[in-house]
Structure 1
């Protein structure tokens, strides 16, 4: 039996509750740390400083890029990318790599990605964007889809969780259930129930992660 559990980090309690009822507490624990990359990084770092875990998973609902990840699907991150971390310029957005300030992308642990893909064969692999401001227009959605042709989904916490996990020397992965398409904001069209059902259905796979 593995000595330490997997830490599953969500933004809000409703996401954590979708997992909690079916988690094996010897294999995995789930905590909600708040919305956005800063809260995610700080909350995850606090949990890692006060507990022992074998790996970290950022999980919850997300927007899916049309044609790449439909509503109700699961997405497994190959990389978590801070898509709005950088600077504006007359020639367009400059990521922090071009500014010389580090990296805006962190690769998910390949062992965890492989295990998730095996346990959840219906899930879509792809990059997941982390944004402090959720996309709400077709123009922004098109711009992001062009900049990140491998992106399947966007959320608000993955990169922050990944930074904390990397700082602690722990493997990291990100799993998202798509509740809405990335684009014009239309809360009436969101299918939250379907996304939460997908998270609950994924729980047995999380119990089995290495």
Structure 2
């Protein structure tokens, strides 16, 4: 909370405090180019959902202990885009963050953990925030998949799209970030800049620099949205 003076009286107002979690320092630095430190904190948490979950949970616990809790967690970085909906250089904002490979392989195909009778595979992002983020940044809203093994074949890309027809992008940390945020009762958002198509690995076709620039530009436009996100909006989940 922040104390404000108004007509000689002290009042309190909720101040958004955002934790932005990227996988690697290059993504962290791209976000930090345009995202003001006064709004929150940007940290590189490592690669993969387990590492991301552990680091984000630690940061959330420490902030709460110090009396400066985060009000939103954002998973951010570059990732693969599903053609034609998310071309290289575009931005994707998640309305759902889904673990694509959490489950079991069977003779009849893949079964998500939810169909085995336990767990969860999807976290939904606040609808109003997704709308505002998409409007401000030009990002396409849709499902962002979290994978522990990056897709490298056309067959796997097709299988993922068949199971998740609204998927626009895949990355490796979002679901872990969302799990940690949910455990602390904090809403989550995910923003990805597309560096390559999901499918056969063709490193010559990757546009990492272009995607990092798009990420920085996107966060410059997203920052005012996050700063103006009200307490009422935070409960629109």
Report if TM-score (shorter chain) is over 0.5: yes
* Residues 106-125 of structure 1 mapped to structure 2, 5 A cutoff: 106-120=123-137, 122-125=138-141
Helix, strand or coil: the match of 1:88? strand
Change (3 A) 1:134 1:168: same
Equivalent residue, structure 2, for 1:147: 163
Alignment of 1:123-134 (within 5 A): 123-134=139-150
SS of alignment partner, residue 101 of structure 1: coil
Cα contact 2:23–2:77 (8 A) shared by 1: yes
46, 59, 64: which one aligns with 1:47: 59
The structure with the largest alpha-carbon Rg is 2
State the Cα distance separating 1:140 from its structure 2 match. 0.4
How far does residue 108 in structure 1 lie from its aligned partner after superposition? Answer: 1.0
User: Displacement of 1:200 after TM fit?
Assistant: 1.0
Query: Any unmatched runs of 5+ in structure 2?
Result: 1-12, 64-68, 230-237
Could you say what the CA RMSD is over the residues aligned between the two structures, in angstroms? 1.2
In the alignment, is the contact (CA less than 8 A) between 1:5 and 1:25 conserved in 2?
no
1:17 corresponds to: 29
Match of 1:95 in 2: 112
The count of corresponding residues between Structure 1 and Structure 2 is 209
CA shift for structure 1 position 206: 3.0
Counterpart CA distance in 1 for 2:47 and 2:120 is 22
> SS state of the match for residue 70, structure 1?
coil
Please report the TM-score for the alignment, with normalisation by the length of structure 2.
Answer: 0.85
Q: 2-side partners of 1:2 and 1:32: how far apart?
A: 26
The alpha-carbon deviation at position 4 of structure 1 amounts to: 4.6
1:36 alignment counterpart: 48
**Contact 1:28–1:206 (CA<8 Å) still a contact in 2?**
no
How far apart, in 1, do the equivalents of 2:42 and 2:113 lie?
Answer: 31
- What is the CA–CA distance in structure 2 between the aligned matches of 1:49 and 1:161, rounded to whole Å? 14
Q: Is the 8 A contact 1:179 1:190 kept in 2?
A: yes
Q: 1:47 to 1:179 in 2, by over 3 A?
A: same
Deviates more, 1:110-119 or 1:144-153: 110-119
Q: How big is the shift at 1:111?
A: 2.8
**Partner residue, 2:7:** none
Cα separation, 2, equivalents of 1:58 and 1:115: 17
**1:67 aligned to 2:79?**
no
Q: Deviations over 1:1-30 (max 9, x none)?
A: 753521110000000000113221111321
SS at 2:106's partner residue? coil
